[in-house]
Structure 1
Amino acid sequence: MTLDAETASRFGASRKTLGGMFVNMATNPKLRSFRSGRIIGAVAAGLIVLLIGGNAFSTVEYGHVGLYKTFGKLNDNVLSPGIHFKLPFIQTIIQVNTQVTKAETDTSASSKDLQPVSTHVAVNYSVNKESAYNLMNNIGGNFDSVIINPAIQEIVKEVTARYPAEDLITRRDVVAGEISDHLKNRLAKYDLIVNDINIVNFKFSEAFNDSIEAKQVAQQQALKAENDLKRIEIEAKQKVAQAQAEAQSLKLKKQEVTPELVQLKQIEVQEKALDKWDGKLPSVTGGATPFIDLNSLAGK
């Protein structure tokens, strides 16, 4: 393919013109500044879009519920776990834990018999999902220190004062049940659910612990003595029963002995002696000669 002279001349002029424009753009400071400004503006716009888009959504975690907060004011619309839209830089979503949570408290009180008692209590509680707005709007996020711990302190002291110190140990399940009932009624006013309560430990004074130990030792010794006495009584009764049985047996045997039976036994003894006798009298006798009643034998 060939170009004529006029076309070639025009093409060359165009090339020179474009080249000059590019040279002017590259060497002209105003053109360079304009191009840089447009690039920076595009980057800034992209960052703003990303920032706004990133703040337009929020996630409510599993085991929680969410509440909209617009310029510091809570919305009573309770959000379930998942992704939710919010107005960027205007709204935030606060999360309320609705899972079972444990609160532990140490309480000092006095028993009914004025023994000092330190109690360590663990309470498992949860937030009512439907009433999360009321709780957060009226109490706030620190409801555990504002409501739960003071309630536990007061109720444990109140219930502990109704029982003697020993009953607190032996009837721990009853004491825990009474504390649980009172605490459920108290926290229900704030839409809090008491799931379980455990009295982890009762701690008494050293003097009381020593007295309890001494009492247990005395009870064990008394129990041992009582068991020994019962054993002796049983053995004595056994001996009496055995003697009575032997006497009864002897009595029955005496009733069975008759003169005819005695005579028969005598005859049996004499027959055995006669069977063993060889018909010779002993030449030397050192004692009495056995008497044999020949008449009785002959009569038999």
Structure 2
Amino acid sequence: MKNFLFLMMCLALSALTTSCTVVKQGEVGVKRTFGKYADRPYTEGLRVFNPFTTTVVKVPVQTENMEVSLNLPSKEGLNIRADISILYNLKANKAPDLLREIGRNYENNVILPVFRSTVSDVTARYFAKDMHTGERATIEVAIRDQMAGLLEERGILIEAVLIKSIQLPANLARAIEEKLEAEQRALRMEFVLQEAQQEAQRRRIEAEGIRDAQNIISQGLDPNVLQFKSIEAFLELAKSPNTKVIITDGDMPMLMDPQQPGALQSTLKN
């Protein structure tokens, strides 16, 4: 009986002096004993610690989305309102150093100040209209690269910086729209001109073909050919049973209608 009571007392004392926590996937745990962080982080799994002397601080290491709304300065001095997402993650092996040097509020203490400084430096190199066109991707990459160079050593990896929305001043937005419309009209006019040029080229080629064909035909109609065709015409007329009067100069036959003297019915020529 005494042994049983002693065993129960040992178990109760052990339960009072130990605790456990679960480190989930996508995060690491860093043990903090008497205010000092351990050098090696815990990965996912069940972890046991002494609740009287130790705590386990959990830090996410999966991709995080930090959204920021701010005014972006442009090259011409305008302020462009924008909503921006910063996608980042933490290096698991750097979590203890991050907690020791920066603390758990690393987003506001480091990431946000670095982002504000970087975005002001980058966007000031571009005109406001560039942020509304294809240059946006270039601006995003420039911000990401500059932030990565400043934060990677601290264990913060910047995956992407995404400008989700841009609110241009009303006058500038209208000017950009007018410019785009003018460019569309210019492209349409260029298409119409190209189409007209192609049609003119087609007609020119067709006319040249007709001219060449007529030249070939005219060159082939020499006196001998004409006399041969005339003979063929005489023969065809002779086969006709109808009454006819044929007048000829020896080269070209002419058929006269005997009921209407003097009227030229047809001239056969090829």
When structure 1 is superposed on structure 2, of 101-110 and 176-185 the one drifting more is: 101-110
Equivalent of residue 21 in structure 2, options 59, 77, 85 = 59
Structure 1 residue 272: Cα displacement: 2.0
Equivalent of residue 99 in structure 1, options 40, 56, 62 = 62
Find the counterpart in structure 2 of residue 223 from structure 1: 187
Q: Which one has the largest radius of gyration?
A: 1
Structure 1 residue 67: Cα displacement: 2.3
Question: As a proportion of its length, which structure holds more strand?
Answer: 2
Cα distance in 2 for partners of 1:70, 1:272 equals 126
Structure 1 residue 285: Cα displacement: 3.6
Aligned residue pairs total 247
Give the unaligned 5+ runs of structure 1: 1-41, 291-300
Structure 1 residue 257: Cα displacement: 0.6
| Pairing 1:178–2:142 present | yes
Calculate the aligned-residue CA RMSD, in Å.
2.7
Alignment check: 8 A CA contact 2:76 2:127 kept: yes
When structure 1 is superposed on structure 2, of 215-224 and 49-58 the one drifting more is: 49-58
Find the counterpart in structure 2 of residue 24 from structure 1: none
Alignment check: 8 A CA contact 1:68 1:94 kept: yes
Amino acid at match of 1:128: K
Structure 1 residue 143: Cα displacement: 0.6
Structure 1 residue 48: Cα displacement: 10
| TM-score of the superposed pair, with normalisation by structure 2 | 0.81
Equivalent of residue 262 in structure 2, options 287, 297, 300 = 287
Secondary structure of the corresponding residue to residue 252 of structure 1? helix
Question: As a proportion of its length, which structure holds more helix?
Answer: 1
Cα distance in 2 for partners of 1:223, 1:167 equals 21
Equivalent of residue 208 in structure 2, options 240, 244, 267 = 244
Alignment check: 8 A CA contact 1:59 1:81 kept: no
Identity of aligned residues (%): 25
Secondary structure of the corresponding residue to residue 109 of structure 1? strand
Give a deviation string over 1:77-131, Cα, whole Å, max 9, x none.
Answer: 4223333333342222222222221111122122223332222221221222112
| TM-score of the superposed pair, with normalisation by structure 1 | 0.73
Cα distance in 2 for partners of 1:159, 1:287 equals 99
Structure 1 residue 271: Cα displacement: 2.1
Give a deviation string over 1:216-237, Cα, whole Å, max 9, x none.
Answer: 1111111111111111111112
| Pairing 1:261–2:225 present | yes
Alignment check: 8 A CA contact 2:62 2:90 kept: yes
Give a deviation string over 1:27-77, Cα, whole Å, max 9, x none.
Answer: xxxxxxxxxxxxxxx9xxx79964751550222412322222233333334
Find the counterpart in structure 2 of residue 164 from structure 1: 127
Structure 1 residue 242: Cα displacement: 1.0
Find the counterpart in structure 2 of residue 18 from structure 1: none
Alignment check: 8 A CA contact 2:40 2:93 kept: no
Cα distance in 2 for partners of 1:141, 1:203 equals 33
Amino acid at match of 2:209: A
Residues 145-160 of structure 1 mapped to structure 2, 5 A cutoff: 145-160=108-123
Alignment check: 8 A CA contact 1:122 1:197 kept: yes
When structure 1 is superposed on structure 2, of 54-63 and 151-160 the one drifting more is: 54-63
Alignment check: 8 A CA contact 1:109 1:118 kept: yes
Give a deviation string over 1:172-212, Cα, whole Å, max 9, x none.
Answer: 22211111111111112322122233222222111111111
Equivalent of residue 235 in structure 2, options 265, 271, 276 = 271
